Amino acid sequence: MSAHPAAFTPCCYAVWYEYLAGINLRLKLAMDEMVVKLLPFDDAAIERLFEEYVSELRGDAQRLIGENAQRILNDILRHTEEADHRAHEYGDNLEQSVLLLDTSGADALRSVVTNLQADTQKMRTAMVDLQGNLTHSRQEIETLKRELEHARIEALTDPLTGALNRRGFEMQFSRLLVESQASSTEISLIMLDIDHFKKINDTHGHLFGDKVIRGIAEVLKANVKGKDAIARLGGEEFGVLLPETSLSGAQALADKIRQTVEKGRIRRQDGKGEVGGITVSLGVAELNRAEDTAAFLNRADKALYFSKENGRNRVSLAPQ
């Protein structure tokens, strides 16, 4: 890492950590390609890699939230400095008043007391203003936290189905993989593809195709539980992560999903009847302790395409 020109920043560390640890497949493929092409890992390249493959937020969301956070911090600093200035001013006036009390008569004493009362009221007002500003800043921070969580979820979610997108899938997979290795429990994966999806789009239109994709997602959501995770990986392809699930358990779930989809019917966009006969092909794999993430995904993907090449509407198991 030190041989490359990028500055050693938190983003740089995160990129190289995920690459060297092998926990981010898309990042690894992208960086391997850069190595082959002898492309430099400078600041611009690292920032692009971080935003595209590591960060949970889009670049524009990161910048907006960062700007808002900086503004809130600047406001807090300004209000605190104003209150501090008032406190020092009050302290100086108090010292001068004490000196006058030692040398002044009754009239001067009344003037000193009046001034002290006025300064005390100013100080109280400054403290009340500071408390109000801090309360407002706290509310803004809470709003910012909600916006950050919303942006994070949005960045990891497929807008059509509400399932995870590919980036969300990879991050969840990395977390579940670490948990599985730590607890020595099984983790299985179902890869699913809608059969003849192009024909569905060509015959019934893309809006109907979107309904089919949403319908498949709803079937998957209805059949998972706990830490299970569903993702739309792109187009008509889905992935289902099943922690604490053996190969046989994943196979049974995959076949249940297959049968549910096959029996389902989806209403046409024009309201004139329903369309049935939609089917899916599935591939199932259980993680081997000796394999990395890429090998695991590749075995599940090969099982999926075995199903598609051997009649579709079936479940195939990846060899262990």
- List active site positions: 236
What is the C-alpha to C-alpha distance for residues 318 and 283, in angstroms, rounded to an integer?
Answer: 7
User: Please, where are the H alpha helices in the chain?
Assistant: 10-21, 25-36, 43-49, 59-103, 106-156, 166-183, 197-204, 206-222, 247-263, 293-309
From 53, 69, 70, select the one nearest 16 (Cα to Cα).
Answer: 53
194 Cβ neighbours under 8 A, 6+ residues apart: 200, 212, 213, 216, 236, 237, 278, 279, 280
The torsion region of residue 196 among left (phi > 0), alpha (psi -120 to 50) and beta comes to: left
DSSP state of 318: P
CA neighbours within 13 Å on the CB side: how many for 145?
6
Residue 318 in tokens: 């990846």
- 10 Å CB burial of residue 190 (0-12, 13-18, 19+) is buried
Task: List Cβ<8 Å contacts ≥24 apart for 156-164.
Answer: 156/56, 158/231, 158/232, 160/210, 160/213, 160/214, 160/217, 160/232, 161/213, 161/214, 161/217, 161/232, 162/217, 163/217, 163/220, 163/221, 163/230, 163/231, 163/232, 163/238, 164/229, 164/230, 164/231, 164/232
